[in-house]
Structure 1
Amino acid sequence: MNIFKRLLRIGQAEIHAAVDKMEDPVKMTEQGLRELRVDLAEATEAYAKVKALAIRTENEQLYYQQESRNYAEKAILIMQKAQTGQVDMIKAEELAREALSLRKKYYVESEELGLQVVALQQSSRDMLRNTEILKENLDKWEKELRTLRARVKVSHATVQVNKQMAQLDNNGTITMLERMKAKVEDQEALAKAYGEIGRDKSSLKEELDSLLKDDSLSIEKDLQAIKEKLGI
């Protein structure tokens, strides 16, 4: 039973850790930006491919247009040769019909390619515009990510400081400091008291010495000796 409870607690801890990790705004933003960079790279590559396809299609359209004009000119040229007798008229008409058929074929194909060119060019313009918008947003969000990182650091530091302040008295630190402060004040007061006692003793001793050191008796004795010597 205890083993199952322990496994359950470990599983719950891992789930909570995963949730906390998912809810990390910086990590979520970084992941989102990584995905956007991939999207931007893919969009840029797709734009380049569509642009290249539009260029190739346009070149093909120009080729078919030129071929259509060439066969139109050939039809005219063959009929001119028939007119001058250089080519049999019946043969010339047969060749001219074939040339005109090819002219029409190339013309139709050039028109179809022209429609494709217009559609591809429009698609490439739309893709370029969307790619530029994505790039602008990516640049903006990367700047916001740098700001977010700084804000997260400040908020974490603030939380830690506030947490320490909130738990400061719980650890008895303030009480210990107050006790140390009171003890120091007691020591200072005791030292001051000893100093005053010492000064009082010195004052009494000096007063006593002053009283005992009375020079008047010595002077009287000296004066009496002089008087006795002089017979006064």
Structure 2
Amino acid sequence: MGIFNRIFNIGKSEVHSALDKLEDPIKMTEQGIRDLKTDLNKSLQGLAEIKALAIRAKNDNAKFSNDAKQYEQKAIMLLQKAQAGQLSPQEADRLAGEMLKMKENADAEAQRTAKEMVQHENAVATMEQNINKLKSKITTYENELRTLKARAKVSEATKKINKQLAQVDSSSTISMLERMKEKVAQDEALAESYGAIALESKSVNEEVEAVLGSTTSSDALLALKAKMGLLGSGETTTTNDDVPPPPAS
């Protein structure tokens, strides 16, 4: 049985752990406030019922007290009739005695209802005090809930920002910059390599022309003017023929 108990306890702990992860403080607080409001409604209903009992006891007490007075007054009136000769003494005594018995019963009921009235009024006072405390708690919890919701929004936004900032790793950023520098350096070296290959691919004639220079459009214009005899005294022509030949080997 020990192994089964251990398995059951492990399973129960896992369930509690899963429930803890699912718990939402805001939702739990909202549910708690709803439960308190349900209790408050029940308490108000109970308060109304107790107040009704207190009112009933008060009315009954007033009725029985009034009845007792009336019975006593009737007994007095019967005895007065006997004194006036309007009623025989025996009959007056009998009826007056009945009135006094009824007065006694009414007084007893008045005392009973007076006690009930006091008990109900004390219960009403106690219940009203508890209800006021419950209302105060509900108000406090609702204010705390509003604060909790505001804090939750701020913390959630802060968490998202911090999470984004945490994901921007400085070492990875530096590594990325180093890779970019290396790629740029490789591209520059490759461009220089292509330039060197382009220079190496020039023909010998292109190299000679680059050294000696080729006839430009201005040189051709001067040569044409000289042929037509249009050159002024200050203008001279310079062609490739004027370049001295290379020394003989």
Question: What TM-score, normalized by structure 1, do the two folds share?
Answer: 0.69
Q: What is the correspondence of 1:208-223 to structure 2 with a 5 Å cutoff?
A: none
SS of 1:52's equivalent in the other structure is helix
Q: CA deviation at 1:86?
A: 1.2
- CA distance in 2: counterparts of 1:153 and 1:12, whole angstroms: 31
Q: Which amino acid is the alignment partner of residue 177 of structure 2?
A: E
Name 2:177's counterpart in structure 1: 178
- CA distance in 1: counterparts of 2:121 and 2:68, whole angstroms: 23
Q: What is the correspondence of 1:30-109 to structure 2 with a 5 Å cutoff?
A: 30-109=30-109
Change (3 A) 1:183 1:41: farther
Residues 109-168 of structure 1 show CA distances to partners (whole Å, capped at 9, x for unaligned) of 101211211121121112112111211220121011011011112212222222222223
Q: What is the correspondence of 1:180-219 to structure 2 with a 5 Å cutoff?
A: 182=181
Residues 49-95 of structure 1 show CA distances to partners (whole Å, capped at 9, x for unaligned) of 11111001100111101110110011001111111111110011011
Q: Which amino acid is the alignment partner of residue 178 of structure 1?
A: L
Name 2:28's counterpart in structure 1: 28
Change (3 A) 1:185 1:80: farther
Name 1:18's counterpart in structure 2: 19
Whether contact under 8 Å (1:78, 1:95) holds in the other structure is yes
Quick one: higher RCO (CA 8 Å, sep 6+), 1 or 2?
Answer: 1
Name 1:203's counterpart in structure 2: none
- CA distance in 2: counterparts of 1:163 and 1:138, whole angstroms: 36
- CA distance in 2: counterparts of 1:11 and 1:104, whole angstroms: 68
For the pair 1:115 / 2:121, whether they are aligned, the reply is no
Give the unaligned 5+ runs of structure 1. Answer: 1-9, 191-207, 215-224, 228-232
Question: What TM-score, normalized by structure 2, do the two folds share?
Answer: 0.65
Q: Percent identity?
A: 34
Whether contact under 8 Å (1:62, 1:110) holds in the other structure is yes
Change (3 A) 1:171 1:26: farther
SS of 2:64's equivalent in the other structure is helix
- CA distance in 2: counterparts of 1:142 and 1:12, whole angstroms: 32
**Larger relative helix fraction:** 1
Q: Which amino acid is the alignment partner of residue 54 of structure 1?
A: A
- CA distance in 1: counterparts of 2:85 and 2:110, whole angstroms: 34
Whether contact under 8 Å (1:21, 1:27) holds in the other structure is no
Name 1:153's counterpart in structure 2: 153
* Number of aligned residue pairs: 203
- CA distance in 1: counterparts of 2:76 and 2:177, whole angstroms: 116
- CA distance in 2: counterparts of 1:13 and 1:125, whole angstroms: 48
- CA distance in 2: counterparts of 1:107 and 1:76, whole angstroms: 17
The alignment's C-alpha RMSD in Å is 3.8
SS of 1:85's equivalent in the other structure is coil
Q: CA deviation at 1:179?
A: 5.3
